[in-house]
Amino acid sequence: MNLTRVLQPYVCCLGNPVAGNPTQFVMYRAARACGVDWRFFTSQVEIDQFEVAFRGVQALGLRGMALFEPFQTRAIELLDSVTESAICLGGVNIARLDGNSWLGDNTLGIAITNCIVPLLDCIPSANEMDTTVQQPSAILVVGDRKLAKAIRLACPEIAKRVFVVPDLEQPQNGPPVTPEPWELDSLKEFSQREMSVGCLICERLPTMIASRQIATLPWSNSPCSLVLTHSSERQLRSWNESLKAQRVEQIESVELMTHQAAADFHFWTGVSPAIDLIRESFEEYMQW
């Protein structure tokens, strides 16, 4: 009898701190709804014991890991292989056992694209890409070029629409890098390209001055915006007010969490859970 066929697959969620993290709750709900016999549990690991815990997960025959901060970067060197997206973003948020080796991935890029693509204007097909067709609106990333590259990797269909400008408040350190055509120096350079913003993605909430600069950009008829870091209600109100004239649809943080959790679940199980179920699970958990 082959015992590997009757043992339940387990996924361990490792982080520090992990109190209040909803992953186990959300994944349990998804597994039950999808009819897959997977189990998820959470473990707080001391910072200096991470490699021991990591090797323990492997030795126990678990099928996967969810990796929270501060372990996402450290996990790269311990895995047998990692995806291009994980290398690009400099960290792994999930890993799974593939045969006899461990594969790590970072699903932030695919989560972002799954959030924004339904809100974008129509993507022209290959035979429509000519000079007579109006250029589709752009996806403008304000922040690190690695984030923009991860979005391009996640969805090649929209890669030509993704552009990035540096964080408007953060000094750009390190040696100069030869930019790709989609890596711009400033918002002014974006405006000179005669494109409109269909989606704006900010790694963190811009300051009041930066918000005013952003508001003056040319916008599409139905733009959307996504801020990746959590902000106070007061800051969000100010940000929303700055883009009010452009009628920008703000994508809530729970929406990004929902799509990333769905991508993580599929990575481990091969099954795609219902997005509404994942969203409802997050909302229920956060109300406790």
Handedness of CA 28, 30, 35, 36 (dihedral sign): negative
Tell me: the pLDDT tens digits for 156-184?
A: 999 999 999 987 665 555 555 657 889 99
pTM for the full predicted model: 0.88
| Domain 8-106+255-282: CATH class, spelled out | alpha beta
Helix, strand, coil percentages in the chain from 3-state DSSP, rounded to 5: 45, 20, 35
Please give the full DSSP string across 210-259, using - where no structure is assigned: HHHHHHTS-EEEEEEEEE-S---HHHHHHHHHHTGGGTPEEPPHHHHHHH
Tell me: the pLDDT tens digits for 72-131?
A: 999 999 999 999 999 999 999 999 999 889 999 999 999 999 999 999 875 544 444 444
- The answer to whether the CB of 281 falls within 8 A of the CB of 29 is yes
- The answer to whether the CB of 27 falls within 8 A of the CB of 35 is no
- Per-residue model confidence (pLDDT) at position 128: 46
Domain locations in the chain? 8-106+255-282, 110-251
The sheet with strand 138-142 has its strands ordered as: 162-165, 138-142, 197-202, 219-227, 249-250
Burial (Cβ within 10 Å: 0-12, 13-18, ≥19) of residue 113: buried
- Per-residue model confidence (pLDDT) at position 236: 83
CATH number of the structural domain 110-251? 3.40.50
pLDDT mean across residues, the chain = 88
What is the amino acid identity at position 166? P
